[in-house]
Structure 1
């Protein structure tokens, strides 16, 4: 059995580098999107200077946990990259990740974030699916480092 993702991706020693890479991934994905996504992202960033980093820190353990089964299956017979594997299983992987954000949004009291999320949620799966190659590469980089 492969090393569980939580052992490598939740390692406090990797925290700063991982946070920077996840933030970079989000910034890259947003820059590839349309004006609505960019506007909502800008609004969320205006809520507070650390809101994106705080969201990453809060959501990351759930994302790691939701991707663990995919990682274990990929590690059992690795072909290509983990990003390729996630793309090949994009419906299930996207749903797993969105389940984490949906649950977290239900808990927030910040109306600007709820409003922004609800405006983007109908197209979220398409956007999450588009991010899977970069996300898979980021996970593979940090899981095997």
Structure 2
């Protein structure tokens, strides 16, 4: 069994499957949204995918190294403590795990030279934490599928 998430997720032979599965997480999370905000998210997501079909996969791939680094301390603690599933562990630490992951996208948005990107991100960011917390069980499922135990 691999000792780190980096070994599990970022190996060149596994990375394409991990990216595909994480992209599916994004697709499933968007599909699960309801209400007016869900309709807006689905509409925007559909438009982005129509304009550039590979954009979500490309984004997942470009963020995967940083996300993995942010999740590594949580995974190490989970392995050290033992017991329960990774999804249960993430659920118990959802606030911290979501903040860690959003730190990656916050830094990317802040570093962008394109004001339009910053504006859109700033508009979506307030709901971001809730959305990431809701996605953590699916994220844990993908990590477990690829060898995180």
Instruction: Point out where structure 2 has 5 or more consecutive residues left out of the alignment.
Output: none
Tell me the secondary structure at the aligned position of residue 3 of structure 1.
Answer: coil
Tell me the secondary structure at the aligned position of residue 122 of structure 1.
Answer: helix
Q: What is the deviation of 1:48? A: 2.1
Q: TM-score, normalised by structure 2?
A: 0.87
Is residue 116 from structure 1 mapped to residue 120 from structure 2 by the alignment? yes
Q: What is the deviation of 1:130? A: 0.5
Q: What is the deviation of 1:121? A: 0.7
Match for residue 143 of structure 1? 147
1:18-72 CA-to-partner distances (Å, cap 9, x unmatched) read: 1111111110000011112212322332442321111111111111000001100
Following superposition of structure 1 onto structure 2, how do residues 90-129 of structure 1 map, counting pairs within 5 Å?
90-109=94-113, 113-129=117-133
Is residue 27 from structure 1 mapped to residue 27 from structure 2 by the alignment? yes
RMSD: 1.9
Instruction: Point out where structure 1 has 5 or more consecutive residues left out of the alignment.
Output: none
Q: What is the deviation of 1:74? A: 0.5
Deviating more after overlay: 127-136 vs 101-110: 101-110
Match for residue 61 of structure 2? 57
Q: What is the deviation of 1:115? A: 3.9
1:108-131 CA-to-partner distances (Å, cap 9, x unmatched) read: 355664443222211111110001
Distance 2:119 2:39 in 1: 16
Mapped contact 1:37–1:120 kept (Cα < 8 A) = no
